[in-house]
Amino acid sequence: MESVNTTSDRPCDPRCLVKSEAGISEGNVGQGVVDFPVAVVLPAAGSGERMGLSTPKQFCTFLNRPLISFTIETFERIPWIETIVVVVAKESHDQMLHIIDRFHHTKVKVVEGGATRHRSIFNGLQAFSESMEGPSPLPRPKVVIIHDAVRPFVEEDFLLKITLAAKEQGASGAIRPLVSTVIATTSEGYLDHSLERTKYRASEMPQGFLYDIIFQAYQRCSEFDFEFGTECLHLALQYSGTNAKLIEGPQTLWKVTYKRDLAAAECVIKETLSLSACLISGTMAETVELASKLQKNLAAHSMTLDLHPFVKGNDELLSKTRNFIQISARRESLSEITEMVKVLEEMNHALLYPVVIIWVHLCMSEEPFHRQNPDELSSIMDISMKAKQRNILLYGIEVIHSKIPELWERSVERLSEITAALIRDRNPAFTGQLLQA
């Protein structure tokens, strides 16, 4: 086993997750409050039959990353969580180790799962037990959080509520209102009775426990519980006499169950990544004017743009966003794009999320740039192909500076629409092309 380094109303809101990588996380929410060790167990040994795919859903990929990597990052970014135990099927062990290495996850321990969910959770809990055979156990936590590997979007403030309630009460769990009425049917397939929806709640994840309580409960489980049980809170009540504190959670606690849920997760992450951009105007009067207009227009697309004349040598500025728009009227600006790509690669800035660079060429003549300099098109393509291998998406847009106000305003509006769409969609198929605004 590898060593452990301990050094909203939408379906998800990974905003704080994205910020934390740039070093500007809001997320020291629990610092000073959580003064005890906390660990996480992520059961991820399921086959994902309901997805209808050959790949288990936790290993399905979007935005060039497997789903489980997003879930791990959700917990790994929180400084007061020390250890994350991921429980996988034996045949997925090497794949999981590769994911950990590729995406630089540093708090993770991989444990082999069991034939059922409860057996896998118990295996994860045993990683902290001194009675475990094999390698030395991990440091025992005061509180352990159990969470689904396919629920990638849970916010730190809610995890803090779950953690503190578990420490105080012994167990805690997330709940949500029922969306549909629950009914009982007869053996012949007719309605027997229905439950009053307002009296019931759906049990969700995460769930938190004092480690000693939940480990004791699993040690006392029956074979029936291991085979057919689904609810950890019930085990804590039945076998440890601990009644969990239930906390209503946000809508972000949904889990990826079906193929369409993967698309939903991707869409919301893209939406969050497109909230801001760095707009590089240069110093030429015409490019500064265009940058100002573009900044105003993109605000209508719910995008905040930080305007700067240049970013060369300012690595801190490059680390604060994953969207860059560079406006230039000079051919030489392609060398600046090349330098930016190089710096972003060295920073590993696109490791977890794709970075977008949009090179806007302001053509001051009526003759389009691509007709004047056909060789430049191949240069854009070469740069973009190399960048795409490092998860950096480079697009080109040409806009002609018209002296007719109506045509100029129309071109700027078109430029704004194309720019917003490229940043929002992050489609690698359009990289390397010089689009016309």
Mean pLDDT of 317-323: 91
Average pLDDT value over all residues in the chain: 88
Q: Check which CATH number belongs to the domain holding 314 and give it.
A: 3.40.50.360
Both 211 and 318 in one domain: the answer is: no
Both 28 and 140 in one domain: the answer is: yes
φ/ψ of 348, rounded to 5, equals 60, 30
User: Total domain count for the chain?
Assistant: 2
- Tell me whether residue 267 is in a domain: no
Q: Identify which of 178, 177, 249, 179 has the alpha carbon closest to the alpha carbon of residue 208.
A: 249
Q: Which domain holds residue 372?
A: 274-436
Instruction: Report residue 18's pLDDT band, with 50, 70 and 90 as the boundaries.
Output: very low
Both 300 and 228 in one domain: the answer is: no
- Tell me whether residue 10 is in a domain: no
Both 316 and 211 in one domain: the answer is: no
In whole angstroms, give the CA distance from residue 215 to residue 137: 14
Instruction: Report residue 20's pLDDT band, with 50, 70 and 90 as the boundaries.
Output: very low
12 pLDDT more than 70: no
- Tell me whether residue 3 is in a domain: no
Both 246 and 311 in one domain: the answer is: no
Judged by average pLDDT, the poorest of 16-20, 187-191, 235-239, 337-341 is 16-20
- Tell me whether residue 9 is in a domain: no
Instruction: Report residue 158's pLDDT band, with 50, 70 and 90 as the boundaries.
Output: very high
- Tell me whether residue 109 is in a domain: yes
Write out the two tokens for 295.
Answer: 């900044």
Both 284 and 217 in one domain: the answer is: no
Instruction: Report residue 330's pLDDT band, with 50, 70 and 90 as the boundaries.
Output: confident
- Tell me whether residue 77 is in a domain: yes
Indicate the residue among 232, 258, 284 that finishes a domain.
258
In whole angstroms, give the CA distance from residue 110 to residue 121: 12
Instruction: Report residue 225's pLDDT band, with 50, 70 and 90 as the boundaries.
Output: very high
Q: Identify which of 88, 65, 74 has the alpha carbon closest to the alpha carbon of residue 40.
A: 74
Write out the two tokens for 358.
Answer: 């949009």
Instruction: Report residue 218's pLDDT band, with 50, 70 and 90 as the boundaries.
Output: very high
Q: What is the pLDDT of residues 375-394, one digit of tens each?
A: 667 788 899 999 999 999 99
Can you tell me whether residue 84 is helix, strand or coil?
A: strand
Both 344 and 201 in one domain: the answer is: no
Both 239 and 342 in one domain: the answer is: no
272 pLDDT more than 50: yes
Both 234 and 186 in one domain: the answer is: yes
Checking 196-201 for CB contacts under 8 A at 24+ apart, the result is: 201/175, 201/176, 201/177, 201/246, 201/248
Indicate the residue among 229, 258, 287 that finishes a domain.
258
Both 71 and 184 in one domain: the answer is: yes
Write out the two tokens for 279.
Answer: 């707009």
Both 234 and 372 in one domain: the answer is: no
What local confidence, expressed as pLDDT, does residue 24 receive?
36
Q: Identify which of 383, 378, 418, 379 has the alpha carbon closest to the alpha carbon of residue 398.
A: 418
- Tell me whether residue 85 is in a domain: yes
Instruction: Report residue 55's pLDDT band, with 50, 70 and 90 as the boundaries.
Output: confident
Write out the two tokens for 171.
Answer: 């167990």
Q: What is the pTM of this model?
A: 0.86
Q: Exposed e or buried b for every residue in 45-71, given b needs 16+ CB within 10 A? A: bbebeebeeeebbbbbebbebbbbbbb
φ/ψ of 57, rounded to 5, equals -60, -30
173-to-40, 47, 62, 246 alpha-carbon distances in Å: 14, 25, 29, 5
In whole angstroms, give the CA distance from residue 148 to residue 52: 19
